Amino acid sequence: MDILIENGVFVERIKGRDPIVINAERKVILPGGVDLHSHFAGSKVTLGRLLRPEEHRLRHQFGNSGNHIGTGWATPTPFLCGYLYSKLGYAKIVEPAVPPLKARHTHEEMRGIPYMDKMSLLLLGNSWIIMDLIAQKRLKLLEKYVLWVLWASKTYGIKLVAPGSGEAWAWGKSITHIDDEIPNFSITPKDIIYNLARVNKEIGLKTPVHLHTNNLGSPGNYQTTIDSLKTVENLGLRDGDSPFIIHLVHAQFSSYKGDSWKTFSSGSEEVAAYINSNSHVSFDLGQIIFSNTTTMTADGAWQYNLYRLTGGKWINNDVENETASGIVPYTFKRKNYVNAIQWAVGLELALLVKDPWKLAVTTDHPNGGVFTSYPVIIAWLMNKKFRERTIEKINSKAKHIIILPSIDREYTLFETVIVTRSAPARIMGVKDGATIGIGKEANLAIYDLGDPERDLGENPVKLIKGLSSANYNIKNGLIVMKNGVPVQDFNGVTYYSGGVNESEELTELVDYYFKEYYTVEKENYIVQKGEVMHPVNVLEEVFK
């Protein structure tokens, strides 16, 4: 069978002469991968690089054959990041935590990441403007403001990180329940989740609200997670490719039982049962990998807790009236009781949720591990024996209480393609970019996974090796990588949403906050299209 590509798309017949022919006999050909949650660009990634020079000694690439140099293990520099993703066979990546004020910086870095199409999600869960508008019940204006701020930052969708909790933490307080009132705002995290999920549906964004739950990382948080998902149950489904109303990010970190670190255990059965019986939720794994990494999130409160547990170097940051963040180096250890449970929770969720279209493989890069570990996760999902080999090596107390050993399910190769390509593309609303079909974007990865007649999951070592380095990565019809080596320069597009407003009420609102609170002028805050690599607005540029 032949796959034909011309002018960047799959075609039925080639019109031009002398096409390049690739013999992919006995190889596995997949659509380019889609990573819908990976912290690869922006101010906290840069701060992570500054905090951990030692991490940059773990991986460096010299400039050979015209490609750019780069360093970094968990926080690779932009060029290296693009090369690594491309080597893995990926085509589209999503930076999931952009404070509006730091959007320009994020785009500056994304411009330097070759090959990938990029999207980014805007942090709105602790924004004073958002919380004020909800408290004042000015919900129509809220819709307009969300469209404006997405446009101003050239970002793609909404991200909520522990809504309200960063704000409370800045006052030295904590929010432990989604019905707790946020200091100074007389609303609750639940109000934020509900209203932004509703706004998201109303204004027709292409991807659901992405939620990082309150109490993330803490024992017993699975109840908070289910409560948060229930909050938006009655909103119905969304129109378009992505029907989900809410996307639960790195669900692994939000699915724990127990009331202390000693009684810490897996809540994967409860969370998976909820997801199985409801159709409005999609999620990604946030699988942990036993290794050293640099954790980073907008959840400032949680990072402060993590710093107190580890006692090493750390950064916490407050981004004016918008959000917070924190960065803490961390090592996930097999023999650590809590880490061993966390490892199991991720895989349990992937194996207990029946419909692969609801989930995406991620490590919450770099929080659970680095994205170059994805092939290992695929091997764990496809091969029960391979899981058992890891289970043998983990903490012995944890080994006896996890349910993972009792799960027999093994993913088929087809299912792994869904959870690394089709499902994340659908959740992000870019389904056509991850499909092999006539007229669709020609993004392909060609892998040598051994004898295709045999069960590819059978030999995990070969599978991991094959998936880690694609023979070819073809992006928009161009061969960009060959056996892990960059072949030519190419920059993908940057998708964004939102539009410029023509509403006096909105102008008045925004001007007020810039006058009263921001340290920058509105004119300097707005990211211009010229600052973005190949910008593509998926909504109307001007709205009424």
Partner 1 sequence: MRKIILTFKGHGRPVLVYNISPSVFRSKSLDQLKKLEVKSGNKTYQLKDFFIIEEEEPVIEPVETIIIENSTFNLKRIGEKMDTGRIVVNGDAGMHLGAYMKGGEIIVNGSVDDWCGAEMSGGMINILENAGNFLGANYIGSLEGMRGGVIKVEGSTKDFTGMRMAGGAIIVKRNCGSFLGYYMVNGEITVEASSGSETGSRMRGGVINIYGSAEIGVGFKKVGLNYITSEGKKLTLHVFRGDSIESGEGEIRIREVSK
Beta strands in 408-499 (DSSP E): 444-447, 472-475, 478-482, 485-486, 494-496
Question: Does the footprint of Zn ion cover residue 95 (CB under 5 A)?
Answer: no
Find the shortest distance in angstroms from Cβ 65 to Zn ion. Answer: 34
Angle, vertex CA 232, rays to CA 228 and CA 234, nearest 5: 140
Binding of residue 143 to Zn ion (CB under 5 A): no
Contact between 76 and partner 1 by CB under 8 A: the answer reads no
Residue 541 contact partner, candidates partner 1, Zn ion, none, CB within 5 to 8 A by sort of partner = none
Least separation in angstroms between residue 62's CB and partner 1 is 8
Contact between residue 202 and residue 147 where contact means Cβ atoms under 8 Å apart: no
Task: Give the contact letters, 316-355, x = binds to Zn ion (CB under 5 A), - = no.
Answer: ----------------------------------------
In terms of CB distance, is 98 or 425 closer to Zn ion?
Answer: 98
Tell me which residue of 43, 25, 184 sits closest to 107, measured CA to CA: 43
Residue 311 in contact with partner 1, rule: CB under 8 A = no
Q: Strand order of the sheet with strand 478-482?
A: 28-31, 444-447, 472-475, 478-482, 485-486
Do the bridges between strand 359-360 and strand 281-284 make them parallel or antiparallel, or are there none, so unpaired?
A: parallel
- Check residue 279 and report its DSSP letter: S
Dihedral class, residue 207 (left if φ above 0, else alpha if ψ from -120 to 50, else beta): beta
66 binds partner 1 (CB under 8 A): no
Helical H segments across 277-409, by residue range: 300-310, 337-352, 374-382, 384-393, 396-401
Tokens coding 513: 């906050």
Q: Are 498 and 148 in contact (CB under 8 A)?
A: yes
Question: Could you give the 3-state DSSP secondary structure of residue 4?
Answer: strand
Nearer to partner 1, 312 or 452 (CB): 312
- Cβ of residue 482: shortest distance to partner 1, in angstroms? 21
* Least Cβ distance, residue 45 to partner 1 (angstroms): 16
The entry of Zn ion, partner 1, none that residue 19 binds, CB within 5 to 8 Å by partner kind: none
Using CA atoms, how far apart are residues 409 and 412, in angstroms rounded to an integer?
A: 9
By a kind-dependent CB cut-off of 5 to 8 A, residue 55 interacts, out of partner 1, Zn ion, none, with partner 1
The number of residues that bind Zn ion (CB under 5 A) is: 1
Q: Are 366 and 295 in contact (CB under 8 A)?
A: yes
Residue 308 in contact with partner 1, rule: CB under 8 A: no
Smallest separation, CB 51 to partner 1 (Å): 8
Residue 312 touches partner 1, criterion: CB under 8 A: yes
Query: Does residue 52 interact with partner 1 by CB under 8 A?
Result: yes
Q: Which does 364 bind (CB under 5 to 8 A by kind): Zn ion, partner 1, none?
A: Zn ion
**Chosen from Zn ion, partner 1, none, partner binding at 95 (C-beta under 5 to 8 Å by type):** none
247 contributes a contact to partner 1 by CB under 8 A: no
Q: Least Å distance between CB 294 and partner 1?
A: 11
CB of 108 to partner 1, least distance (A): 24
364 binds Zn ion (CB under 5 A): yes
Beta bridge partners of 29: 446
User: What gap in Å lies between CA 433 and CA 474, rounded to an integer?
Assistant: 12
* 69/520 with CB nearer partner 1: 69
Q: Which is nearer to partner 1, 312 or 439 (CB)?
A: 312
Reference 23, options 488, 515, 484, 472; nearest CA is 472
Determine, following the binding rule CB under 8 A, whether residue 102 of this chain makes contact with partner 1. no
Interacting residue ranges for partner 1, rule: CB under 8 A: 51-55, 57, 63, 312
Summarize as ranges the residues that interact with Zn ion (CB under 5 A).
364
